[in-house]
Structure 1
């Protein structure tokens, strides 16, 4: 197929790989030939994914060129993902005084994780108007948390607060969080039966709430936010805090920056980054194209290093790639064996491999990947016609 021999024992994967390669080539041909009429710049195309279902396309270039590509292809967005603004949720806790012990436990746990909490014991003082203070708390919340127990489920006051919380939810003004304690889901009223309700029994249940709610708080004292949140604040990658934590783990743990370096199980990865298994699996899905799952193991793609090294390594892979490409294009005698290039630049394999994957992903070099190349990602680094355009457009 396409001039290549196929192994009949692996025919399905071989056919899919051939189809994907054809799709990638069509996209590169269609998008790669769009040119800025004023500057002569061509776009650089990045295509990630191992199946037709998870293909992701990224177009790089000047803002004017990206806008032109959008216009030609009718795309809504292109280029690198923009960093999502940091949200600051405020949690309102509704409960009955008979459940004050469990309410205090939840409130203090959320507050201890850096989450802004409205709880009447903290927010209502002598002489305050109860109605006014509660209205302020509900009106300013982004998360309405109601503690549902056999004692609170029929309390008129709790139901009135729930009505206000549900109205805000219907108006997309807050998230509604029904949390059960000692109450089976089967005993929820019909209006709440269609809303997923967490059950609070152990500290792990409270920890799951904390992983879903990130914020700053003015109430002293408070403990540090989860490590995944701190990493996300420090590095605005455009991905979620959980995805950031996992990407950073592989960036910092990889020895040579190669495919499958390192390999770990999902449970092991969750423990390393301080996330639940469910959150870890969701983050792996978010990072599709950079990670893949195989028989319960997480395999890292070399493209993850090309994308994320700039956040947690002392180099910029994009800058390294442009430097290397410019040197290759300007010097016909520039060496192509990876060992010689690394010696020339005084780079370890970890850094050169990240650069090689960056160039490979953009189809700027000949694909010389193969078995037995370690510690190098490719046998040789040889530029092609796309590399000439890449260098010229960024000169």
Structure 2
């Protein structure tokens, strides 16, 4: 070993011992500080950056970080919290080789245009500034460490030191590590990078959009849609099967006036509208026919049509519409009683209550089905059904019981 190499090695060992001793001293002082918010000792991490730099992180509160800075004689912001708030301002530390400036400067400018602050050495280091000091500040503050991997940069010792610091920040959870390859095959990078996602960076707006999306955490997944009705769970407390409720909802929502035979549909039309598998459509229809809420007409050579009875809307409007047929029926009964007559015209009553036929007809069907009033039916072409009411003592008894 030559004399120069001997002394170089001796100096490096001595420096290492001095730095290690200094780290122990820093940690010992920091560990004696109590978090003013919890009254407990918080964890403190003193991490080496490069040959003679340090960064301090803590799991304690922001108040603890400020107390550490005061105790250690550091400037505000030099002790970093390990759990940054969700709205932490995004700051990219951009590591690169000086030979790649022509590629890196547009990259830095493009991120800035997209609202992302960038630590770029040409912008941060001025005359008389300490290069290492400035880099340590940038590394300590960054939320994202981005390194441009090129044939030139991967051979630069300085860039490799920055990469080590960036990896340390990623391990501590204070920054996300992003490696971008440019004209560099994956086979040329170190084994470490081969185990991480290192996409090929394409200069230009498309590449910048992809990078900024990654930094902002924009999900690449499509929006999560609603699950199909046929996989929805059973309605708690309901005595109806999920398939019957889905078929009922189809008729309730697609009826113009809540009249019998409004609307009419085939099995195929119900399936297309609801997304139910055909066996569930048929079983749901069967359940509702059995309950007296649907009717079906079979045609020779075809499957026929299915339509609702008035009681379909009485039973299910409260589940799928903006009104409650039971409450509306009580209000309608009181109104009919107050007319003090034995007959009433449905159109006049509906207009007086301010209800459109779709809502009025369900309340009317409720009273008719319960035998509270008798319907007057004739071909009028009017949207209100029934056309009128005959009222007797049944109505009086119903209102008295409210």
TM-score, reference length from structure 1: 0.40
Structure with greater contact order relative to length (CA < 8 Å, sep ≥ 6): 1
TM-score, reference length from structure 2: 0.40
**Which has the greater radius of gyration?**
2
